[in-house]
Amino acid sequence: MTGTGDHEGLRLRRTKSVTRAEEIAKAEQMARKSQPDHPCHRPRDSLFSWSSGFDNFTGFVNWGFLLLGIGGVRLLLENFIKYGIRVDPRQWFLFLSGKNYDGNEYPSILLICFGAMYVCMLYALLFLKLWSYVQVNMWCRLSVKSKNTSHGGMRRQSFSYTDLLASEAKQNGSDSDETRHEIDGGGKALVQYPDNLNLSDLFYFMLAPTLCYELNFPRTQRIRKRFLIKRILEVVVGCQVVMSLFQQWMIPSVKNSLIPFSNMDVAKASERLLKLAIPNHLMWLCFFYLIFHSFFNLMGELLHFADRKFYCDWWNANNIDTFWRTWNLPVHRWAIRHLYLPVLEMGYSKSVASITVFFISAFFHEYLVSVPLKTFKIWAFIGMMGQIPLSILSKYVQKHWGDRWGNIVVWASLIIGQPLCIMMYYHDFVVTHFGDALLEDYSVV
């Protein structure tokens, strides 16, 4: 009888509801606290266990930044001890001018101001801007013609800028407020085609920090003087920082990587690659802030250009595809508006449109490197086309291991890919223009 009663009591306890079980647990806990031994233990998981639910690792993030900073300072001190102070503004002028060391070449004033790569970049920007200018005016002309002829069944030839932003908002997951435009502060009437076809409108577009032409850009009402001064100081100081990093840190690292890379010494070449990765990545980050935030905001403020969204949070990108959609919005908008959507309108698939965009981007990357170096190699082209399989890989990693690992793949590609491309082009440049004699000179260093 006693055994049966105990069994029935046990059965009744198992059938208690969850709420009743919690009440019993709380009652037991209160009873434990009232005991004279003052208990301090209760069922708990270790913080590093997934079941603990703990997710505040801010201290480790600070530790990582501090450790990275200490490592960077150590490398900087090593650089100063080994090479001394290499920063020389006079050499900056020679570098930007493209002047040869023998003194026989005197470049034009344009080359003195911009340098070979900057001139090529200027030509590329003019090409993209004029492409947009011509195509948008063609859309407007066809729209006016279709209205005049009343051909309701005419095939649609263009996409409005609102359609473009709505498409971007859908791709990037942003809110629909991106599709709204401000009316300029003066309350002026919107310019209609063909009243926009004048030199002042074209010159404004050539200077505006955008590659996509519009008849009516969103405008600000005034120039904020304090904001403008901050951006000017950032541009001036940023240029000095970038050039100093290049001259003091990158040039010695690139030169020292020549012999191991030429001899295919994998261990030493890998060590030089990792050593070059830190100053290169730091300079790339400074360059990004200098161009996409400081300089573009400076031009936008001077021109009353209201759309200041030149980049998104690319540092949080969980795959390569998201990175290329968010880190350079002026180029991305141009590619979507004038390449991707028109290719889709022609009846091709999204895959063909994406490959077309990457192909054109790869061409311009190769143009901006090979032409200034006066050597035709396809490393930049291959690197850009390689973003397609890398995008597939990063999405696979994101899907199976989570967003954090997808973001790590993005950062790894940026940190390692760029210095590898630099080492390859520098090696080919030296071999092409100076031959093996310079390799022997560098082997002594």
Asked if the structure places residue 95 within a domain, the reply is no
433 is catalytic: no
Residue 102: per-residue pLDDT: 47
Beta-bridge partner residues of 369:
none
Residue 157: per-residue pLDDT: 43
Asked if the structure places residue 51 within a domain, the reply is no
Quick one: CA dihedral 68, 71, 77, 81, positive or negative?
negative
- Dihedral of CA atoms 364, 365, 369, 374 in degrees, nearest 10, equals -40
266: tokens are 């994998």
Strands (E), 337-408: none
Asked if the structure places residue 207 within a domain, the reply is no
Residue 9: per-residue pLDDT: 47
Alpha carbon 374 to its chain's center: 27
Residue 347: per-residue pLDDT: 87
CB within 8 Å of 443: residues ≥ 6 apart = 259
Asked if the structure places residue 360 within a domain, the reply is yes
Residue 63: per-residue pLDDT: 73
Domain hosting 441: range is 316-445
Asked if the structure places residue 383 within a domain, the reply is yes
Residue 295: per-residue pLDDT: 92
Structural domains in the chain (count): 1
Asked if the structure places residue 382 within a domain, the reply is yes
Pick the catalytic residue: 304, 338, 365, 427? 365
Q: Are 293 and 310 in contact (CB under 8 A)?
A: yes
Q: Which residues of the chain have pLDDT under 70?
A: 1-22, 24-25, 32-33, 38-39, 41-42, 45, 47-49, 83-84, 86-113, 115, 150-188, 433-445
Residue 334: per-residue pLDDT: 93
Residue 91: per-residue pLDDT: 64
Asked if the structure places residue 324 within a domain, the reply is yes
Q: Report the predicted TM-score, pTM, of the whole model to 2 decimal places.
A: 0.72
Asked if the structure places residue 322 within a domain, the reply is yes
CA dist 359 and 160 (Å) reads 25
Hey, is 434 helix, strand or coil?
helix
